[in-house]
Chain A
Amino acid sequence: MTAWNNVRAIMKRELAGYFTSPVAYVFLVIFLLLTGFFTFTVGNFFERGEASLVSFFTWHPWLFLFLVPAVGMRLWSEERRLGTLELLLTMPVTSWQAITAKFLASWVFLALALALTFPVVITVNVLGSPDNGVIAAGYVGSLLLAGSYLAVSCMTSAMTRNQVISFIVSVMICLFLILAGFTPVTDLLTKWASPWFVSVVAAFSVMTHYEGFQRGVIDLRDIIFFASIIVFALFATSVIIRSQRAG
Chain B
Amino acid sequence: MIRVENLVKAFGPKRAVDDISFAVERGEVLGFLGPNGAGKSTTMRIITGFYPPTAGRVSVGGHDIVDAPLPAKRLMGYLPENAPGYADMTVHGFLGFVADLRGLTGAAKKKAIDRAVETCFLEGVVHQTVDTLSKGYKHRTCLAQSILHDPDVLILDEPTDGLDPNQKHEVRGLIKRMGANKAIVFSTHILEEVELACTRVIIIDRGRIVASGTPAELKARGETAGAVRLAVRGRSADEVAAAAGAVAGAARVEKLGADTGHATVRVYPKTRGDATLAGAVTELARAQGWQVDELVTEEGRMDDVFRAITLPDTVRGAAGKEAR
Residues of A within 8 A of B (CB): 2, 5-6, 8-10, 12-13, 16-17, 20-21, 82-84, 86-87, 89-94, 242, 245-247
- A92/B80 contact (C-beta < 8 A), A5-B100, A82-B87, A246-B52 known: no
CB-based contact B70/A92 at 8 Å: yes
Q: Is the CB of B73 within 8 A of A90?
A: yes
- Assess whether A9 is in contact with B74, with CB atoms less than 8 Å apart: no
Q: How far is the CA of A7 from the CA of B100 in the complex (A)?
A: 10
Q: Which residues B166-202 have CB closer than 8 A to chain A?
A: none
Number of interchain pairs (Cβ within 8 Å): 81
Given A2-B103, A91-B102, does the pair A17, B73 have CB atoms closer than 8 Å?
no
Q: Mark B59-96, 1 if CB is under 8 A from A, else 0.
A: 00000000001110110101010101111110001000
Q: Are A17 and B9 closer than 8 Å at their CB atoms?
A: no
Residues of B contacting A: mostly:
mixed
Known: A20-B88, A247-B11. A91 touches B93 (CB 8 A): no
B9, B97, B129, B142: residue with the most chain A Cβ atoms closer than 10 Å: B97
CB distance from A131 to the nearest CB of B (A): 43
Contacts of A13 in B (CB 8 A): 86, 89, 97
Residue of A nearest to B105 (CB): A5
Say whether A17 contacts B89, CB under 8 Å: yes
Ordered by A's residue number, 22 sampled pairs between the chains whose C-beta atoms are within 8 Å are A13-B97, A20-B89, A21-B88, A82-B85, A82-B86, A83-B80, A83-B82, A87-B80, A87-B85, A87-B145, A89-B49, A89-B50, A90-B76, A90-B80, A92-B73, A93-B101, A94-B70, A245-B51, A245-B52, A247-B9, A247-B11, A247-B51
Closest beta carbon of chain A to B49's beta carbon, Å? 6
Tell me the complex Cα distance, A246–B9, Å. 9
Using a CB–CB distance below 8 Å, which chain B residues touch chain A?
9-12, 16, 45, 48-52, 54, 69-71, 73-74, 76, 78, 80, 82, 84-89, 93, 97-98, 100-103, 129, 142, 145
Contact B80 A86 (CB under 8 A): yes
The residue in chain A whose Cβ has the minimal distance to the Cβ of B149 is: A92
Q: List, in ascending order, chain A residues with CB within 8 A of B50's CB.
A: 86, 89-90, 245
- Which residues of chain B come closer than 8 Å to A94, judged between CB atoms? 69-70
A92 B52 Cβ-Cβ under 8 A: no
Cβ–Cβ contact B88 & A9, under 8 A:
no
B101→A90 contact, CB < 8 A? no
Residues of A within 8 A of B45 (CB): 86
Across the interface, do B88 and A17 meet the contact criterion of CB distance under 8 Å?
A: yes
**Distance from A124 Cβ to chain B, minimum over Cβ atoms (Å):** 38
In whole angstroms, how far apart are the Cα atoms of A17 and B100 in the complex?
A: 16
Contact at B10–A247, with CB atoms within 8 Å? Answer: yes
- Docked pose: A20 CA to B85 CA in angstroms: 15
Give bound CA distance, A8 to B105, whole Å: 13
Complex CA distance for A87 and B145, rounded to whole angstroms: 10
Contact B86 A17 (CB under 8 A): yes
User: In this complex, which of A5, A9, A90 has the most chain B Cβ atoms within 10 angstroms of its Cβ?
Assistant: A90
Chain B residues lying within 8 Å of A245, measured Cβ to Cβ, are 50-52
- Residues from chain B with Cβ under 8 Å of A12 in the complex: 97, 100
CB distance from B285 to the nearest CB of A (A): 58
From residue B143, how far is it (CB to closest CB) to chain A in Å? Answer: 12
